[in-house]
Structure formats: C-alpha cells, structure tokens
Structure 1
Amino acid sequence: MIQENFNWELIKTQGMAAITQYGGKLLLAVVVFIIGRIVIGKLTSVIHRAMDNRKVDPQVQPFLNSLIGVLLNVMLLLSIAGIIGIETSSFVAVLGAAGLAVGLALQGSLANFAGGVLLLIFKPFRTGDLIAAQGFTGVVEGVQIFNTVLLTPDNKTIIIPNGPLSTSPIVNISGKGKIRVDMVFAAGSQNGADNIRYSVQKVVDACPTALRGTEHDVLVTKLTENAIFFDVRVWTLSENYWATYYNVHEGISRQFAADGIQAPKPAEISVALKQ
C-alpha cells in the first residue's frame, strides 16, 4: 500500500493565491455577463420596436433580430474572456478568417441579401408600385430577400437581384400617387396649329382616366415645313398610366380622322425624330 502524503499547507497557500489572483476577475466576469445579458435583452427589444415602427417586412424581422443577438452575445463573450485573462486575439483572428472565407464564397448572394435588407428597411418602393429600374419598367409584385419581382405591362415577370437594384437609380412612378403622361403627336402644317390643338384638347378632356380639375398641356414643341409637333401632357393616377397613354393615342387617331386632320409626310416625321 502506497502512502500518499499531501502537503495541505502548500495546497492551501496555492489555493488562496489562486483565489486572490483570479477570484476578483471571475466575480467581475460574472457581473459583466449578467449586466451584459440584461443590456442585450433591452437593446434587442428597442431594435425590434424600431423595426415595427418603420414597418420592416415581418419576414425579415426574426432573422435580423437573431443576427443582432448573436453578434452582441459574441462580443459579450469575448469581453468576458478578456476580463478573465484569456487571450482573445487568436479567437478574433479565427472568426475573421472564417468570415472572410464565407464572404468570398457567397459574395454575390451576400450582396443580394444586404440589398434586400436595405430595400425592406428603407422601402424606396412598395408592392404594387410602378417602378423603372435596371432597364425594366413594371409593377412590383414582391420584394424577396434576394430578388425583387416585377410584372411588366406586357405581362412578363422580371426578377432583379437586390444587390444591383439597391445601388442603382430607381424611378418610383407610383411614389406620389399621381403622374404626368408625356406624349408627342404630329400633324401636317396645312391643318393649322389651332385646329390641331382643338382636336387634341377634345381628346384630353374626354379621357376617362385624366384627372379632373387639373390643367393638362397641349403645347407646340416643333415646327417644320410640313409638320407641327405637339407635346401632350396629361395628369392621371399612377395606376392609370398605361390606360391613359393608350386611351389618348387611340382617341387622337379617331379625332383626327373625324376632324379631317391630315398627317404629315412620313419623310418629314423621320427627319424630325432624328433632330
């Protein structure tokens, strides 16, 4: 039987030294952890209410809350490790390298995700708005986390990545509720400017989607030897843009025929459009 002899005095001395050296740090770490968790809880609640007030899309709110919570907790744990005396630079380096690798692997997807988050938070447009962006014009059917879906006037579905969309100019045609439809018409100069304007004005006044009580413009914009060009500007509701556009075009075709307004020579039109 092996007799083990313990130097209880040495163990007691070393224990007291360890408690003296690390006890205060451990106590401080516990206090920081408790206070940090309370602060994180309060902060995430404030952020959640802010997103509700800004009407951030409900589909993206849980993800953002979780992401913010994870980041804050990681920062808290790193702070506690530093208080205890654990070297955190290596952990930070590993996390940074991992983040860089993931970022490079998912560069395009992350850009689209970030763009989607920005669009959902700042809302430069909403579902149902008519917009022009990235060379396309259409009604917004939905803003997804990676893509935005447009429906064009000819019933085509356009899917635009959110990354480029969030960093490029966006024309929100529906943004103000009403819009001006700009059109150009031409007639032979032999008809006389007043007669042409009278015919065009009758069409504008009869247009069912033109806003009442609003001044619409019928203006001479170009004069040539054989043609008179008019800018026709009709105010309407945003959702009636295309209905107004086609209604006025069809109405002017019929009215010109009814009033005997003659068209200019085709060659004259070609030359004028090139100028």
Structure 2
Amino acid sequence: MDFSSFDSQALLDQLMFYLTTYGIQLLVAILVFIVGKWIARKLSNGLKRIMLKSNAEETLCTFIGNITYFGLLAAVVIAALDQAGVNVTSFMAVLGAAGLAVGLALKDSLSNFACGVMLIMMRFFKKGDFIEAGGVMGTVKAVKIFNTDLNTPDNKLISIPNSAILGGAITNFSAEPTRRVDLVMGIGYDDDLKKAKALLVKIVNEHPLVLKDPAPQVELSELADSSVNFVVRPWCKTGDYWRVFFDVTEQVKLTFDAEGISIPYPQQDVHMYEEKKQ
C-alpha cells in the first residue's frame, strides 16, 4: 500500500464532519432520553399522588402509575431515536411487525396484563386484604401489570400470574367487617349434655371480643361415632378472628377439664364371643 498518497488532513476533516453532525445528534438523543425518562417518572408519581389524595385505592393508583410511566417511556424512546437520526416511520413499521410476532409469542403475558386491568377495575380486593386465590392464601401486597404479590402468614412472598387469579375462585376474608368463627366441640356420650351446652354458651358470651349481635350460636349438631358434637359459632370483628378462634378453643378445654366433662377421641368397642363347640 502506498502511504504517500494518504491524506491525513482529509481523513481528519471527514472525522470532524461526522462528529459535529452525528455526534451532536447522538448527544441530544441521549439527553432527550435521560430528561424524558425523568419527566415520565415525575409525571407518573404525580398522577399517583393526585389519585391517592382523591381517596382512590392504593392498588389502583400504583397500577395506573405504572401504566402511565411505561407509556410515556415508550414515547421518550421514540423521540430519542428521532433525534439520533433514525427514520422513525420505518422504525415504527418494523416495530409494528415485530410487535405482532412478539404479541403472539407473549400471549400469556398479554393475558396477564388484561387480567390485571380487570382485577383493578372490578375491585375484587385491595392492598392489605387477606385473600385466597390461585391456590394460595396471603395478604395482598401489590397488584402489578402481570402478577399479584401476596405475603403468606409465614411471611413468604408469592407472585401469582393475574390470569391464574381471575380464572379461579377468589375468596376475600377481609371484605366484610365481621366474620363467624366455626368450631366443633365434642363431649362423651356419658357426659351431662345440658351442662356442657351451658358451659359453651357461657364461654363464648364472656369472651370480650365476641360480638353480641349477631348472637353466638351453640347447638347440638351430631351424634357421631365417638362423641356428641356441638357447633359453636361466635361472631367477631374480622381482625379478631384468629384471637377468638384460639381463645375459645383453649378455654373450652380448660373448662371441660375443670368440670369433669370429657373430650373423647376416636375409639371402637370390640366385642369377643366364645364359639360353642359342637
């Protein structure tokens, strides 16, 4: 190669031309992206704060805020590409075709997104509610675009696809202000039936967290194989459910022991006959 004909000045001029022409465009595009992303975050957070001040549900506010942020971020990316000299029209056409293919490939994710919108709009539950959905029980931490986060009673975080929640039964244990505690208490066949019932009525009526209205219910429900069973059904505030459940169960055991009433366990009577010899 003949380096004598190599024009370093022409190369330098050409390099400077590209730097001044496209370098500035690139810097402007990067600046547009950074500033636009910051504005998108501020606008989405501002919208969330406005909705919270208007007493909208926190779950709905978070969901709308996330949707707004990602929508604005997509517009910022397109604007940055335009500043960088990319033919946005052609890019959008290619992006549309690619979006169709990606949409078909990610149909499950799109289904989760649509189900997330439905969960928010239908208001089956809100943040802080204790629910059973998708085969899992826990407290709602957040409803996100594609999944819902639950905290289990033993403090595990479980993310459930929104489609799995909407596609099955949803039990909201926190929806109503009061709940009924359902207990079954058994006594022996030889025990005093009326005395046992009177003790059960006294236990639930004296508990400070048991509501007077609706009145607690204590009724004989079953003559079982090994016991005579009562249903004990006190009402309480939803937040007091487990405290009442544990307290009443413990107090029944202590009271029955003190009053000489047995709590039988499953048993069978075996009768043996001597076979007469012929």
- TM-score normalised to structure 1 length: 0.62
Equivalent residue, structure 1, for 2:60: 57
Instruction: Give, in angstroms, the shift of residue 256 of structure 1.
Output: 1.1
Q: Distance in 2 between matches of 1:172 and 1:139?
A: 10
Equivalent residue, structure 2, for 1:259: 259
After superposition, the Cα gap between the structure-2 partners of 1:57 and 1:237, relative to the gap in structure 1 and judged at 3 Å, is: same
SS of equivalent residue, structure 2 residue 230: strand
Contact kept, 8 Å, 1:188 with 1:265, in 2: the verdict is: no
**What are structure 2's unaligned runs of at least 5 residues?**
1-49, 73-92, 269-278
Equivalent residue, structure 1, for 2:29: none
| 1:210-249 map, 5 Å | 210-224=210-224, 226-249=226-249
Equivalent residue, structure 2, for 1:110: 110
Give aligned-pair identity as a percent: 38
- Post-superposition Cα deviations, 1:148-185, rounded to whole Å, max 9, x if no partner, equal 22233333333222121022110111112111111111
| 1:60-139 map, 5 Å | 60-62=63-65, 64=67, 98-139=98-139
SS of equivalent residue, structure 2 residue 182: strand
After superposition, the Cα gap between the structure-2 partners of 1:157 and 1:246, relative to the gap in structure 1 and judged at 3 Å, is: farther
- TM-score normalised to structure 2 length: 0.61
Q: Which amino acid aligns with 1:155?
A: N
Q: Which amino acid aligns with 2:62?
A: Q
SS of equivalent residue, structure 1 residue 202: helix
Q: Distance in 2 between matches of 1:101 and 1:195?
A: 74
Deviates more, 1:153-162 or 1:200-209: 153-162
After superposition, the Cα gap between the structure-2 partners of 1:134 and 1:118, relative to the gap in structure 1 and judged at 3 Å, is: same
After superposition, the Cα gap between the structure-2 partners of 1:106 and 1:129, relative to the gap in structure 1 and judged at 3 Å, is: same
Residue-pair matches, total: 201
Equivalent residue, structure 2, for 1:162: 162
Q: Distance in 2 between matches of 1:155 and 1:62?
A: 27
Contact kept, 8 Å, 1:189 with 1:225, in 2: the verdict is: no
SS of equivalent residue, structure 2 residue 181: strand
Q: Which amino acid aligns with 1:130?
A: F
Cα RMSD between the aligned structures?
3.3
Q: Are 1:174 and 2:177 counterparts?
A: no
After superposition, the Cα gap between the structure-2 partners of 1:221 and 1:127, relative to the gap in structure 1 and judged at 3 Å, is: same
